[in-house]
Amino acid sequence: MKVKIDHIFPVQRLYAISRSFVKTGLLLIISLLFYNASKAQKFGWEVTLYGFADNREYKSSVQIPQTFMGTLFTPEVGLQIDSLSAIRVGATTLFEFGSNQFQDKVYPQLYYSFCGSKFKFLFGAFSRHKVFDNAPAALYYDSLYYFRPYINGLFWTYNGNSFRQSVYLDGTSRQTQSIRETFIMGGEGQCHFGDFFLHHHLYMYHYAKTASPSPNEFIRDNGALYLLVGYDLTQKLALDSLCIGVGGIQSYERSRNDMVWHTPYGFLFEVLAQYKGFGIKNIFYYGKGHALDWGDPFYRLKQYDRFDIYFTPLRLHGVEGRFGISMHFAENRISHQQQFYLRVNIGSFAKKKLNHHPPEIW
C-alpha cells in the first residue's frame, strides 16, 4: 500500500525533506562545477538514436516467437579534460512501439573515457554499443542491445596494428535482502598473421547470494570461451570482405553446493561475405548444448545453423540503416526472423570511435 507524505512520522518526514535538499544541493554543486570547468575545458555533446524492428517467427522448444519494435535515444554532454580524456553524463531512454508510456525505461549514463592512439578506457555507466557492436550471439543474445543497452563497470582496450585485446567488468545486479549480487568479467580480442586471424571472447558470470541467503541458496558460476581461427580472402577477390573461420565454444557451469563442473563444448564453422552494402553470413554449430544465462537459447541445442542475408541501403555520415532476414535451422524445423535497424550518431564526441576495428566474422 502506498503511504502519503502527510502520514509519515515527523522524524521520517524530516529525513525525507533532508534527502530532497541534499539531492538539490548536489545537483547545484555539479552544475556549478561544470559551469566553472567549462570555462577552462572544452564542452562536447553526442546524440545517438537507435531504432529497431525485430520480428521473430520461431518454431523451437528453446525460443519464444515475439516481435520487438522501438527506439533508444541517448543524449550525452561532457567536458573534454584534455585531448584524450573526457567526463560524460547522459541517459538512454527506451520507447517501445505500442506502449502507452512516454518512455518505458530510462538508463542513466555517467562515465570517464580515455581515448588514445592505442589505449582506450571507459569507467562508469556507458552504452553497450560503444564497446560491443559485434559480440557473438552464443555469448550475448542480440536482444540485450534493446533491453539492457548499457554496461556498468569498466572496459579497457589495447588496439595495435595486428592485435587488439579488451578486458571488461559489468556489474549486473547489486546485492539486497532479496536480490543476488551478480557481475560479468571477461575479455575479447583478435590478432592477425597475414591473412590468417584468431578471434576470441570469454567471460565468467558470477551469480552470488542475497544478503540474507536461505539454506538452499548457493553461489553459481557460469561462463564460456568462444574461439575462432580463420582466413581472410578479401584481398584475393573483388569483394568488400570474405572470411572463413572454424572454431568452437567451451562453456562451464558450477554450483558451489556440489562443486561439480559441467563443461559442454561444440564445433563452429562460419562464413561472412560482403559487397557494396549486401552481405551474407552463415554460422553452423554442432556439439553439446550450452546453458549460458546471457546467450542465444538456440545454442542450448546440439545442432544449429543460422543463415543471414542483409542489405545496408543507408550509409551516410553518422547515419546507417540495415535490413536483414535470418533463417534458423534447428530441431528439424525452419524458423525465420526479419530485422531492421536505423542508427543516427552525431555530435562532437561522435567522431571519436571507442572501439573501431574491422567487422568480426561472428
Written as tens digits, the pLDDT of the chain (362 aa) is: 443 434 443 434 434 444 555 555 556 556 655 565 555 578 889 999 999 999 999 999 999 999 999 999 999 999 988 889 999 999 999 999 988 877 789 999 999 999 999 999 999 999 998 898 789 999 999 999 999 999 999 999 999 989 999 999 999 999 999 999 999 999 999 999 999 999 999 999 999 999 999 888 899 999 999 999 999 999 888 889 999 999 999 999 988 878 788 999 999 999 999 999 999 999 999 999 999 999 999 999 999 999 999 999 998 888 999 999 999 999 999 999 999 999 999 998 775 544 434 444 44
Cell numbers at residue 240, please? 568488400
pTM of the model: 0.83
Write the DSSP string, 307-320. Answer: EEEEEEEEEETTEE
Number of residues that this document lists for the chain: 362
Write the DSSP string, 263-295. Answer: --EEEEEEEEEEETTEEEEEEEEEES----TTS
**Which residues partner with 52 through β-bridges?**
70, 341
Is the separation of the CB atoms in 284 and 251 below 8 Å?
no
Region of 28 (left: φ > 0; alpha: ψ -120 to 50; beta: rest) is alpha
